[in-house]
Structure 1
């Protein structure tokens, strides 16, 4: 248990340190976007080819249907997502990214990549290889978590 707590504490410390050092710069880079974390999550979920119903979207982001519906309404008013009728069942409404939402998500990714590239400039070649390999392992674990949560994706 002590070893696990040590790992957990180290993870908390390094994550806190990175966020404290990087978030102010990242916030300045996102200035004007006014996106909350869950707004960004919804746009990322909708970036897939599917167009879920609000109920399906709620399950994907782990929120209630009513809360998700209010979030979608807010994103619709801002022009970031669109509601549309299901082609096979007109009673169903589906949600998809708008062009504006897709462009904002792309810009968001570019900002994060620019920030990451700025970090890479401070690594040695050996450190870059270690970090890249670590990120590949991290991405595989994230994929396994996603597959366990929803194997249909």
Structure 2
């Protein structure tokens, strides 16, 4: 229980100090700050409880970890590689690449849950491939958009 309460308090403190006071109310102090910490602790506790209840029917936490990593890390890694390897990509092109990548990641993640009538739309790839395909999609979409912009500018 001490680990759980420490985690809830740490999340509440990070939220209060690093997010709320920095961006929303810099002058927050005293009783108001303490009240926000209490409310944040309860909210993070409820989120943790909800997450725990959602995991009741899960066979393997590791499978869920890989699935969530595929959803979130694929997009970040693809955008990171695009920024590092393609210095001429503009922010608009990167945004389009991320949107395309997110759509592909969502399809790869949730298409296996489609009803049998939509079998032709289901992904045949293993769920662990989401991070690979998401990364490749974002990176190559950004590179192709950059190359298309250069080609169009030369015309």
- TM-score, normalized by length of structure 2? 0.29
Greater CA radius of gyration, 1 or 2? 2
Structure showing greater relative contact order (alpha-carbon pairs closer than 8 Å, 6 or more residues apart): 2
- TM-score, normalized by length of structure 1? 0.29
More helix by share: 2
More strand by share: 1
